[in-house]
Every structure is written in C-alpha cells, then in structure tokens.
Structure 1
Amino acid sequence: MSISSPHTDREQAQVRAGGISLLDTIFADRNKAFWLFQCSGWLGYILVRVFHSLTAISSFDEFGFNFPIVLPVAIIGILLTCILRIVYRRVRDSSVVITFVIAILSCALLGLLLSSIEAFIAPYLIPDFGFATGFAQFNNAMFQSTVLFAWSSIYFGYHYYTGFLEQQERALKATAMAHQAQLKMLRYQLNPHFLFNTLNAISTLVLEKAGDDANKMLTKLSSFLRYTLVNQPTQRTSLEQELQATSLYLDIEAVRFGERLKIVLDIDDKAKSALVPSLILQPLVENAIKYAIAPEIDGGTIRICAHVMGRRLMLMLEDTGPGIPDVNNIVSQSGSGVGIVNTKDRLTQIYGETHELTLKNLEPSGLGITIAIPLEHSSRNSL
C-alpha cells in the first residue's frame, strides 16, 4: 500500500495545486508540446507580419505590400526551427555559456538565411517587386534573427521548466520514500523483551502442563504478530481495530501478571470509527507495563480513553505508576521514554504540526499521556 500520510498528501497537493493543471497536460508529451508551440508561435509571426503590412499600407510604405510572401516565409521558418531543434538537442546539456553562444550564432546565421530567401522569392510573388542585390538581401535579417532568438528562448525555457518539474517530482518521491522508511523504522522498534517474555511464559505453561493456556497465549501472540505485519506502518486503521490489537497484546501480558494488571477502557462510540496510525497505542501500553506495572508488587491499572472533541480525536492513556520526574526530558531517563519518543516521532511524520502529544504526572501517582489528532472516520470496523 502506498504511503497514506496526510502530511505527505498535503505537500503533494500544494505542489500540484489542486490536481492536473493545464501546463501538466501540455507538457505531458514533449513532442506534442513542441508542435503546439511551433504552430502557435509561427501563427503569431504571421499575424505580426500581416499587422505590419496593414500599417505599412496605410502609410504608403512599399515594403508593407508583402502579403503573398508571409505564409511561405513562415513555412520556411518552421523548417529552419526544426533544424535549430536538432542543433539544440545536442548542446542543451552543455554549459550555459556555450549554449548561449551557439544559440546567438545559430539565430544570426539562420536570420540572414531567412532574410535572403525572403528577398529571393519576393519578386516571384509580388508584382513589380525588384530583385534585391548585395546587402539589400539582408534588410529584414534583424527582425528574422530576433524572431528565431525568441523561438530559442521559448525552446530552452520549456526544457528547463520541464527539467525542473522532473527534478521536483523526483524530490517528492524521495521525500515520500524517506517518510515511509522513517515510519517503518519507528513502528518496527518493538521491544524484543516482549517476545522473549511471551515465549518464556508459554514455555512455563507447557512445563506446567497447562496446554490450553499455552495454546491460547500462542494463538493470541500469532494474531498480534500477524496484525503487526499485515498493517503497514504507513497506513491508518480504525480505532476499534487498534483497540482489538491492543487487547491481544494486553491478554498476552495478562498471563504474565495475572491480577496485578488491571485494564480500564473508556471509549466513546463516536471515536471507534476514527482513523489512527496502526499500533500507535502499543508502545505506550508497553511502556506503562514496563515502568508502571512490572516494578510494583501490587501491579497497577492502565486506563485507555478515547473521545471526540470537535474535529479532533483525543486519546488518553493513564497508569498508576511512579510517573516521570521531568516530563519535558524523558529521553535521558534510563531509556524509559523510548516508546513515547518513537510515538511522537511517528505522529510528527504523519500529521506534522496538526497533532499534540502531552505528558502529565497524575495525583497521587501515575503518568497521563494525551494525544490529539485530526478526526477522520473509517467505515470498516472489524479486524
């Protein structure tokens, strides 16, 4: 499944500006784009020449009587720019200076050629138009060279722009892959002690000939591990699915701790279909068991709450352990905050700044963790 991070989706939406734009459609096929620009550009050339002719006629400038040669010159111009295209394909990956010099020289030479061709065919198409000789053949060379240079500017501008889009697309894909890799790394940092303790507990049950209990525990472990593998770290599941997976984990731990582990669930019905990152609760529950339940002789209680507040989903996990001396500096406290830090990193990767994760020491003892994320619903409610 592709990455479903809203954070990444928002970045792509900003770049694409709401979907496929007109430029995306035009630039999808370079060959079609070339002929589109070619036809529209030379049509513009014809219109400029016709306008110039009309202006010249009104001012009795004999040079303006050139209607018959406008179309042939435009056709020849198309052929010359096709030659330019071949030349530019060979040099466009060179340095900017070399490319610019070649473009200037090519436009100047072909401008002279186009002007001389125009002067040569004009007498055959325009009555009483004499043959030009000497430098008179190049009277229109400056205009033609300018037209070709403008064409060249559009050509290189198009290729530099499409190159920029391709580079931007590659950067977006690389960013998405980096987000996905980061999410996988954070999600797959399951505590190996959990597997060790579970297998050890199963072994003990087998030795005690408690086959039914061992089978139940092994079945729950299998279901929990299957859930962790089937649900990618980049996808989101309904809160109800997440709670079912968390219950599998807690049932396994309940075999170890027995009555020392007490679980209280307070889940709003409206919150059950809300989407959450897969296994977002498990590291927090594991952290609570390791540091709040296991060290205490009498064990303790873990309370999981979820409710909807406006357009946000509020998740809360509380335990009755000793809490944390400094809730603002949990990393340095003997690794006790690894699960919390990983969870916060995952939320940052997925939701950016639209999420909150806060910690608070409870009275008389215990730690409270509150997660607030944007509210999104799923219609799937079964594991």
Structure 2
Amino acid sequence: MRPRGKGPARPILAGVGLDRPFFDDKNRAFWVLQSIGWSGYFILRSLSGLANSMGAMFVVHALLLTATGYSLTLLMASLYRRLITMRAIWTVIISLGTVALAAAAFSFIETWSYSTFLRPDAKPAGVEYLGAIILDFSILAAWSALYYGINYYLLLEEEIDQRAQLESQASTAQLAMLRYQLNPHFLFNTLNSISTLVLLKQTERANAMLSRLSSFLRYTLVNEPTAKVTLVQEVETLKLYLEIEKMRFEDRLRPHFKIDADTIGARLPSLLLQPLIENAIKYAVTSSEQGADIWINARREGRAVRIEVADSGPGPGGAPVDAQSTGVGLANIQDRLTQAYGPAHGFATRTNEHGGFSVIIEIPLDTDQKDHS
C-alpha cells in the first residue's frame, strides 16, 4: 500500500479527499479529470472567441460544444471500459471507428450551433456539416489516448503491485522454510540423551537437559521466522544450544565466544549461526575422541560486522566418510543471507590457523530496532 501523507495538514487534506493517492478511487479520479478537462476546454474556447470579437453569444456556443464533448466522451468511456480487455488490434480498430463517428457527430452539432447562434445567415448543407471534423477528431483522439494511457498505466501498476506482493510472500515463505530447517538429528540425539539419563536414574541432569531443550525450542517457535534479532540475542540462544550439547559431549565440546562490544546491537536473521555450530559439532567434535574447540568471533569492520565460526576439527575433507557434509546447511545460510541482505553481504569458507574449518559471514551493521525482512 502506498504511504499516506502525515502532518498538521492531514485533516485539511482529508476534508477535500487529498489524503490518499489520486487513483485509489478510479471512478472519482475519472469524474475529476473529466470535469477539469472539459472545463478547461470551455474556458479556452470562450476566451478565444471573445478575443476574436465573436460576441457574448460565443460563450453559449462554447457551452453547447462543451456539453456535447462531455456527453460524447462519457459514451466513449463506457465503450472503452469493455474494449480495454479485448485484443489490442480490435481495441485500436474499434476505438478509431468510435472516434471517427463521435467526431462526425461533434462536427455536425458544432456547425449547427455556429450557424444558429453566431451566423444566422449561414445555411450549411451536406458535407459542410463536417467542416470541423478534423479539429473534433483531434480533440477526441487526444482524449481517447489519455483515457487508455491512464488506464493501461493503472493496470500495469496493479500488476507490478501484485507481483511485488507475491514475491514478498514467496520470499517470506522461503525464509520461513529455511528458518525451520533445523537438523532433526539434534532433536533426536537430545531426546535420546534424555532417555538415557532417565534410564540411568540421573533425573537432575535429565530435567536440566529437558528444561534447556524446552527453552531453546520455545525460542525457535516464538520468534517470527523472518524476523531479525540482535547479535547478543543470537549469542544467548547459541549458548543455550551449546549447553544442551555440552551435556552430551561434556569436556569434548569447548566453545569460546569473542564478541566485540560495538557489534552486539547488529541485527541478523534469527538462528542464522545455529547450523554452523551444529556442523562444527558434527564434523569436529563427534568425529574426535578428544573433541574440539569451537570459536564464535564477531568484530566490526567499517559499516559491516564480520562473524566467524571456526573449529579445531580435521578441516574440509578430513571428517570420516559417514560424516561428510552434504553442503545443505551452508547453502541454507547463503540463501537466508541473500534473502535478508541481497548483495550487501559476504560469505566465505576456509581452513583456519588451527587446521579446522571456518565460515566467515559479513553483514551490514544494521542496528535498527524494526524488522527489515
């Protein structure tokens, strides 16, 4: 929807119907333009006659012509509303024929009015009644072109708005789909761990794990799938997720956070980093008896925020065959970044100084409290 005007003049504009886009009400817009156009025709025609010493009766003549043109164009508009939905070739042919017939009728009335009010001694006959047909044809053709131009523009604008709305809905649906693609193995493993703890009668640990799982899942369900959260909120959620995983892996999972203070207000799609942590656990921690370290670093670089998720695992290609990455998680994140930022983001992978795998994300330093998705 187009934005409406705000400010102290809003009540005045509302009183005269100018507080909304002009063509929001097409019927009102047509009558306004029709009245303004033919009023202008009447004024110009009257002034032209008076300037050429045609006398006061010329005003009557101009008034009759204005009423004729106004009435003819109303009939034409009624026909054009049906023609505009037809094939273009038929619209053009029938419209030209209509303009020609209307111009002939206009010329006949104009000639009759001229001979009646201005030159009573004139006695036009036959084709003389078509003496003004070229001028009248030009006027009605211009009116027709304006009518079709405005209406085709409005139809095009409607299609553009509908397309933008559909693209927005598709984008939102895609974001939601990507956002909900949490690895089901995480949930399965966590529930399996809780079940094991219950069987071992370690109820306190089982309750703690279940409570953390509940909090994490509540976060994933409460937050809008297309919303953005601050980096500090994302980090708190990652810590909650890592607490759950740490109960499974204990000392084998060693997370480290280094988040610069001037980046904590940066906004990013919710749960954007969780799949990266999940991948690091799967390919670095799970595959090693000693476990692995995972680093989550964020620092500001100009008007951007650089976020790196790194691990000390075997690096690309070093994981066991049954744990090789399919690349779906990374593709998911790239898609979400593209949906959220377009080309204004960076995404890269590399082997880090620890010999493990790193994913580097660069996003605009967006600290606006509103959701921009």
Equivalent of residue 290 in structure 1, options 276, 282, 292 = 282
Task: Give the Å deviation of 1:124.
Answer: 4.2
- More moved, 308-317 vs 278-287: 308-317
Distance 1:374 1:207, change over 3 A: same
Equivalent of residue 134 in structure 2, options 122, 134, 142 = 142
Task: Give the Å deviation of 1:146.
Answer: 1.7
Query: Aligned partners of 2:48 and 2:369: how far apart in 1?
Result: 67
Pairing 1:42–2:34 present: no
Pairing 1:371–2:361 present: yes
Deviations 1:351-373 (A, max 9, x none): 11110011120234111221110
Cross-structure match for 2:149: 157
**What percentage of aligned pairs have identical amino acids?**
40
Query: Aligned partners of 2:156 and 2:4: how far apart in 1?
Result: 17
Deviations 1:328-373 (A, max 9, x none): xxxxx94343222211111011111110011120234111221110
Equivalent of residue 181 in structure 1, options 163, 173, 196 = 173
- The amino acid of 2:191's aligned partner reads L
- The amino acid of 1:338's aligned partner reads V
Task: Give the Å deviation of 1:127.
Answer: 6.0
Q: Structure 1 unaligned segments of length 5 or more: list them.
A: 1-11, 327-332
Give TM-score, length-normalised by structure 2.
0.87
Cross-structure match for 2:352: 362
Q: Contact 2:317/2:324 (CA < 8 Å) preserved in 1?
A: no
Pairing 1:272–2:268 present: no
Query: Aligned partners of 1:236 and 1:27: how far apart in 2?
Result: 35
Distance 1:303 1:140, change over 3 A: same
Q: Structure 2 unaligned segments of length 5 or more: list them.
A: 6-17
- The amino acid of 1:367's aligned partner reads F
Q: Which residues of 2 match residues 1-383 of structure 1 at below 5 A?
A: 25-50=21-46, 52-53=48-49, 66-126=58-118, 128=120, 130-325=122-317, 334-377=324-367
Query: Aligned partners of 1:336 and 1:124: how far apart in 2?
Result: 90
Task: Give the Å deviation of 1:37.
Answer: 2.2
Give TM-score, length-normalised by structure 1.
0.85
- More moved, 89-98 vs 162-171: 89-98
3-state SS of paired residue (2:24): coil
Query: Aligned partners of 1:87 and 1:363: how far apart in 2?
Result: 76
- More moved, 67-76 vs 223-232: 67-76
- The amino acid of 1:235's aligned partner reads A
RMSD over equivalenced CA pairs, Å: 2.6
Q: Which has the higher contact order (CA 8 A, sep 6+)?
A: 1
Query: Aligned partners of 2:158 and 2:324: how far apart in 1?
Result: 46
